Amino acid sequence: MIEFRRAKMRGLSQLGWLHSHHTFSFSHYYDAQQTGFSDLLVINDDTVEPGQGFGTHPHRNMEIFSYVLSGGLAHKDSAGHEEVCRPGDVQMMSAGSGVFHSEYNASDHEPVHFLQIWIVPDRQGGPVRYQQRHFPPKARRGRLCLIISPDEADDALPVWQDVRVYAGLFDGGETASLALEQRYAYVHVARGALSVNGQPFAAGDGARIRDETLLTFSDGKDAEVLVFDLRPHEGPKR
């Protein structure tokens, strides 16, 4: 079963320097029917204006990753990490027992467009850790590239939860499939358009997926997609 969350159904925040679409409830946007799915709590589609960003603020007991679509995202945290994340880079921060961090547009002349995603961890406390890795287009072209995994399979970034995240680029006749094996999934199309099991998705569209054994991605039109392989329960358990 594919339960759509179309782009136009998402929450919206506009703060001048920030334009953000919220797949699930976040900050001042609240929808009792949209409080996450399985261990997936937040998908924010953020565009930040040049020289602007999220000032230093705290997090704890959350797995947070950023997936940059265009521009550069500058990260700095209280554990001493300071990096710039660009398209193809995936940034993963385990907030653990507590961390302060900031995320800013690294450019003073062009916006940065990225997805900010939160996953509820399988533990409380623990050490803070930060990882960043580049996944070039050829690794994602016409296939589902594993970018996040609890066991770091295929050089994926580690996460403290039974969740696997894949990224893919699809155009024309390129196709790929993912077996679920009694799992849930969430699909989010970051840009372009494609079909999943014959159902059309456009940029910003997402879907909860239950009771499917195989997902097939096809008919891409300059599509970039994230796929979350999730535990089969309905909402984040904290």
Residue 209 carries which side chain, given as an amino acid letter?
I
Q: Is residue 151 in a domain? A: yes
Residue with tokens 């939160």: 118
Question: pTM of the full predicted structure?
Answer: 0.95
Q: Is residue 134 in a domain? A: yes
* Nearest to 116, CA basis, from 186, 219, 43: 43
What is the domain-level CATH number for residue 29?
2.60.120.10
Question: Which domain covers residue 91, as residue numbers?
Answer: 2-230
Lowest average pLDDT, out of 37-46, 54-63, 143-152, 196-205, goes to 54-63
How confident is residue 237, by pLDDT bands cut at 50, 70 and 90? low
Residue with tokens 């403290």: 160
Beta bridge partners of 53: 104
**How many distinct structural domains can be found in the chain?**
1
Q: Is residue 237 in a domain? A: no
Q: Which residues have C-beta within 8 Å of that of residue 173, sequence separation ≥ 6? A: none
- Number of other CB atoms surrounding residue 46 within 10 Å: 22
Beta bridge partners of 144: none
CA distances from 155 to 146, 191, 197 (A): 8, 25, 28
Q: Is residue 172 in a domain? A: yes
pLDDT tens, residue by residue, 139-194: 999 999 999 999 988 899 999 999 999 999 999 999 999 999 899 999 999 999 99
Q: Is residue 99 in a domain? A: yes
Q: Is residue 75 in a domain? A: yes
